[in-house]
Amino acid sequence: MKIISSIDDLRDQLRGQLRTVFVPTMGNLHEGHLSLMRLARKHGDPIVASIFVNRLQFGPNEDFDKYPRTFQADVEKLEKEGVYVLFAPTEKDLYPEPQAFRVSPPEDLGTILEGEFRPGFFTGVTTVVLKLFSCVQPRVAVFGKKDYQQLMMIRNMAKQFALPTEIIAAETYRAEDGLALSSRNMYLSAEERAEAPALHAQLQAVAHAVRGGHLDVFELERNAVASLAARGWKPDYISIRRRADLQPPSAGDLAQNAPLVVLTAARLGVTRLIDNLEI
């Protein structure tokens, strides 16, 4: 596996490749990330992964400096998965001057759910992804469904900018007890880790109620938030939305069994976890 930090060197290495498949990450890799590499192998060759902790998507009170960085262990894992190139730029490589030009996500998607609780997050995400796409120029890119709103944002961005990159969605990789794998899980204490699967269980309960014909979405959301709070969580939201655009479902959507998704973000101790479940 070649480890490259320079954009020019990356382009030289990939010149002439027509089936490049790309998996961007922020490192601290776990089985969820590695499952993306395995899915990528089915959609193209060579596989390019990136590791870059993107300052632009962190808010002023978030954990940029504390974000876990495990570069050598990550390299060993990617080598075992047959990754051809690891693009690992420094901030100076990717942002040689202040990134004054940025992507502005549409308000109807960018200011709801995660966008409401993390202002500027999606501007940072879409800006770095567009820049990484420009560097790698992949035919296919793979993103996980755990970051459901992010996946939709990137799909819509690729479509509106007519990018020559197909976005492939990978199912959320879970531990045996249902907890979605995340780099932030390492912040959980042993007691919190034992409690953490309750987040997915709550989503399952909401989904079961909707499938069973419960049409009062707001009541389901209120009850789910109260249930988590009673267990010591601090929920930001539990919200049932249309899969098509992440807007609240209408009565007609519910009556016609439109495809829905329930999404959540909640703090357990100091750790903020997100998850979702399609209905």
Nearest to 87 by CA among 164, 18, 165, 7: 7
Catalytic-residue membership of 200: no
Sequence-distant (≥ 6) Cβ neighbours of residue 22 within 8 angstroms: 40, 47, 48, 49, 50, 132, 133, 136, 138, 140, 141, 142, 165
Sequence-distant (≥ 6) Cβ neighbours of residue 14 within 8 angstroms: 20, 46, 48, 85, 136, 137
Cα angle, residue 124 at apex, residues 228 and 6 outer, rounded to 5°:
130
The active-site residue, picked from 33, 200, 208, 214, is 33
Peptide bond into 96 cis (omega under 30): no
Q: Where are the alpha helices (DSSP H) in the chain?
A: 7-14, 31-41, 71-80, 91-94, 107-110, 114-117, 121-136, 148-160, 190-195, 198-211, 217-230, 251-255
Report residue 100 as tokens. Answer: 């004054």
> CB 128: neighbour CB atoms within 10 A?
23
Sequence-distant (≥ 6) Cβ neighbours of residue 54 within 8 angstroms: 26, 124, 125, 128
Q: Which residues are catalytic?
A: 33
